[in-house]
Amino acid sequence: MNIIYFLMPLALLLGFSFAAAFVVSSWRGQFDDLETPAHRMLLDDENKSDSKKGTTT
Amino acid sequence: MDQALDLESACEHCGTHFIHATSQRFCCAGCEFVFGLIQSEGLARYYQIREANPPLCPLPAQSSSSNYDYCDDPEFIKKLSPDGLKIRFFLEGLNCTACLWLLEKLPDFCKDAASARVDMATSTIEIRRQPQASFAAIARTLNRFGYRPHPLRESEASAHLQLRERRQDLIRIGVAGALTGNIMILAVSLYGGATGHLADQFRWLSGLLALPILTYCAWPFYRSTLASLRSLQLNLDVPIVIAIFAGIATSLWSLAYNSGDVYFDSLSMLVFLLLSSRFILKGIQARQLRSTNLEDEILLGTVQRICANGKLEKISSLAVLKNDVIQIDTEGFIPVDGIVSSGTGLISNAVMTGESQPVPIAAGLKIEAGSRNLQGKWNLTVTHPPGETRLAKILRDTERSAQSKSQFIHFSDHISNWFISIVLISAAALVLFLGSDVQEGISRALALVIVTCPCVFGIAIPLSMSFAIRAAARKGIIVKNSDAIERLWNVKTLFFDKTGTLTKGEMSVLKMEATDESSLGIALALEKNENHPVARALVKYLQSQNVEALAVQNVIPFLGGGVCGERDGAFYCLKPVTSQVQEIQPSIIRSNYGLFRDQTLLALFELSDEPRDEALHLLSWARQENYATKMISGDRKSVVETCGQKLGFSADDIYSEITPENKAIELRNCSQLSAMVGDGANDAAALAAAHVGIAICGSLDVSLRAADVYLARPNLNAIIELFGIAKLTRSAIYRNLFFSASFNAVSGTLAACGLMTPLWAAVLMPVSSLTVVMSSAWTGKKLFSAKEG
């Protein structure tokens, strides 16, 4: 059962790191606009293929 | 399709189906132009993306002829953009993925733009320009593609604050969610029957994990409770905070004495779910009530500014600054206060003063926003730009009073107060009743306090009301407060004024018979200073006949549209006379006015006033909906009856020759609750006496003193829409009340009987409050998406 004294802090650490990642990304504005990215991902990224038109695969 | 040649096809640009004689690919020149533009810029993929991501977005093709030179005005840029490089535009016509693609390609085909970022939730685009590039050129490009841009004058500070708050909220939810998840893992083993050393450690650990939730995350509840206690008004957060504190106290006691239950899991869950449901509520409010205010709904448009070099430019009325000179040459509302600098024309001040007689333009004349230009071409020096005008102030006051609480909301506040008190008392009673078993008593009391929620009163009803008022404003109906919406529910009888309400209110003289020239001069002198449709029509007609007014003393108007005065010792009176002329055209309602010296008729004027085009439609709707319709007028019996018959009133429902004072008495005597539709100034007494007063003409501020509703556009169909909005709002509120009552009764009983643990209560309560909010929002969405009238 002693393994639990290792696993518990590990689980909490994991949980906290995700929470921290969420806090940081919130502060950086990742969740400010929740609508547009859903549309934006439907579009192929053409910024690179613009120069060499027609090479999209 | 009666001609064989007619073909129907979809426009290649906008997708509108249209009928054409020869084979055409586009429905209009605008679409053809934008199509060509998109092709020539190498953006043809736009059409592929659009096809691939239905629903097809109806793209606006007609680019307006607006000039955006003002976007380069340094003053203007300074106002909108702190660094001078970035402006947000609100775009009309931004709806779909293809629009997004096209707009974010902007830097590729518009060399002035450095970057463009679309926010579809708010229909805005944020554009960063190249150094020294022109915002005007960018705006023109957007406009050429059919997206009409409006620069946003959102203050950077408030936008920043909102963003900060949103991020704070999200972080609170995130932290609460993560910690609650971990606490639940620990709680599962405790519920599973863990005992001994490990169980104690788990309890302590869950308490430790709950600490940030119960302090940082729950802070908004503490703050609002503190405010509520200061104002001695119990709000929704009070029982929540009491439950949290009671839960913490019991749990700490259990920890300290190493016996009994801990409630950290339930409390964390409660805080997490409540924060989430409040976040969703805020989102709904922001989405449907964003940015627009009443003033913008009515007056937003373009004006022509005269530049320093004497050239004209078309700018958004939002961009007008103090001391700008604008030229007015089209018919429409004037969005600013100002002083006429030159030019001639005619304006109507009806919205501001209630005076519907046009006023001629002269240099130095003060013009108020909300006046309507009728004709002419003149220049105006701006003294108060939009947002600072008197009209804006009136509308803001109206908006503020609209937010003030209606009787129903007061009543529901009252209930909500009682509700909270009863719940708290019964929770205390529960603990005492189960005195021997303190643990069980506290557990049940906690569950009871948490699960019962008067959120339908505190959140759902005010939300429904604010949706209703906004939806009405969008249609040009200004509702003074939510009280008026409630009162509309009970209206059974509709009273209509005749002149100016059911009829156009523009009298004109059809025929004149006079014994001599001097009697006309006396008639003009009598009516010259009167403000009555008949008087105005007479004065206008007589002046057009080059009649000179003669000196008349002691001019006294009397109610019912008559005036009398004295000249050379003789007593003259201009008043309605009984009809002697045969009705030739029944569609025209005639009034005859005669000038009398003592009892002899000197001159006879025949006037007419036609019913509004939409009057019959309104009345047939009202009758279909089982409203009693009555017409009440100060006009003569024969005139009112002719008009009434034409509009389908039965003889009993026509009240004629009623003075304004008696109209109010008549309305008070009506056995059913009634709405009065009439002129805001002349019928003020009747409007105030009615259960709901609806003013259709007259000035805004005077009308709103007496009436509850003001129709900014004199169109009777707005009344149908108003009743529709009120009805939808009522069904939303009743639905929510029913749901909330059943939910609280069932869950409260279960909790009191010990059949519901505090954890279940913590899950169910936010779910129920979210349900009523969603139900209100669903109705709100229906209100806003209803067809524009």
pTM, two decimals, is: 0.65
Tell me the chain A residues in contact with residue B108 when contact means C-beta distances shorter than 8 Å.
50
Q: How many CB atoms lie within 10 A of CB B128?
A: 17
What are the residue ranges in chain B where pLDDT is below 70?
Answer: 1-8, 14-23, 28-30, 53-67, 93, 95, 121-122, 153-159, 285-302, 314-319, 350-358, 396-409, 505-506, 510, 531-533, 558-561, 577-591, 680-681, 697-702, 786-789
Can you tell me the distance from the alpha carbon of B697 to that of B676, in angstroms, rounded to the nearest whole number? Answer: 13
Can you tell me the distance from the alpha carbon of B499 to that of B534, in angstroms, rounded to the nearest whole number? Answer: 10
Residue B239, preceding bond cis, omega within 30 degrees? no
Determine the residue type at B60.
P
Tell me the chain B residues in contact with residue A34 when contact means C-beta distances shorter than 8 Å.
121
- Strands B562-567 and B570-576 turn out to be antiparallel
Can you tell me the distance from the alpha carbon of B603 to that of B584, in angstroms, rounded to the nearest whole number? Answer: 21
Using CB atoms, pick whichever of B97, B100, B178 lies closest to residue A19: B178
Chain B residues with a Cβ under 8 Å from any Cβ in chain A: 49, 53, 96-97, 100-101, 104, 108, 118-121, 163, 166-167, 170-171, 174-175, 178-179, 181-182, 185, 198, 205, 209
Tell me the chain B residues in contact with residue A26 when contact means C-beta distances shorter than 8 Å.
167, 170-171, 174
Can you tell me the distance from the alpha carbon of B290 to that of B285, in angstroms, rounded to the nearest whole number? Answer: 8
Using CB atoms, pick whichever of A1, A35, A43 lies closest to residue B120: A35
Q: What is the pLDDT of residue B719?
A: 92
Give the nearest chain A residue to B176 (CA atoms): A19
Angle between helices B533-544 and B517-527 (to 10 degrees): 140
ipTM above 0.95, yes or no: no
Q: What is the pLDDT of residue B300?
A: 57
Q: What is the pLDDT of residue B603?
A: 83
Return the number of CB contacts < 8 Å for A and B.
Answer: 63
- Strands B628-632 and B600-609 turn out to be unpaired
The CA distance from A54 to the nearest CA of chain B, in Å, is 11
**Degrees (nearest 5) of the Cα angle B530, B532, B533?**
130
Tell me the chain B residues in contact with residue A1 when contact means C-beta distances shorter than 8 Å.
198
Q: Which of B57, B95, B173, B175 to mutate to test the interface with A (most CBs of A within 10 A)?
A: B175
Q: What is the pLDDT of residue B532?
A: 67
Q: What is the pLDDT of residue B65?
A: 53
B182 to A42: CB separation less than 8 angstroms, yes or no: no
Where residue A52 falls among pLDDT bands split at 50, 70, 90?
very low
Q: Which of B101, B216, B217 to mutate to test the interface with A (most CBs of A within 10 A)?
A: B101
Q: Which residues of B342-375 are buried (b: 16+ CB within 10 A; e: fewer)?
A: ebebebbbbbbbbebbbbebeeeeebbbbbbbee
**DSSP 8-state code for residue B357:** S
Neighbour-count burial of B568, counting CB atoms closer than 10 A to its CB (0-12 exposed, 13-18 middle, 19+ buried)? exposed
Residue B138 φ then ψ, to 5°: -65, -45
Residue with the two structure tokens 């509120």 = B733
Q: What is the pLDDT of residue B699?
A: 67
Structure-block tokens of residue B111: 């060399």
pLDDT in tens, B27-47: 766 677 778 877 877 777 777
* Of B206, B45, B270, residue with least CA distance to A54: B45
What separation in angstroms does the CA of B344 have from each of B37, B335, B338, B385, B675?
Answer: 42, 19, 15, 22, 41
Using CB atoms, pick whichever of B119, B175, B198 lies closest to residue A23: B175
Tell me the chain B residues in contact with residue A40 when contact means C-beta distances shorter than 8 Å.
100, 104
What separation in angstroms does the CA of B543 have from each of B146, B516, B527, B540, B604?
Answer: 49, 16, 11, 5, 16
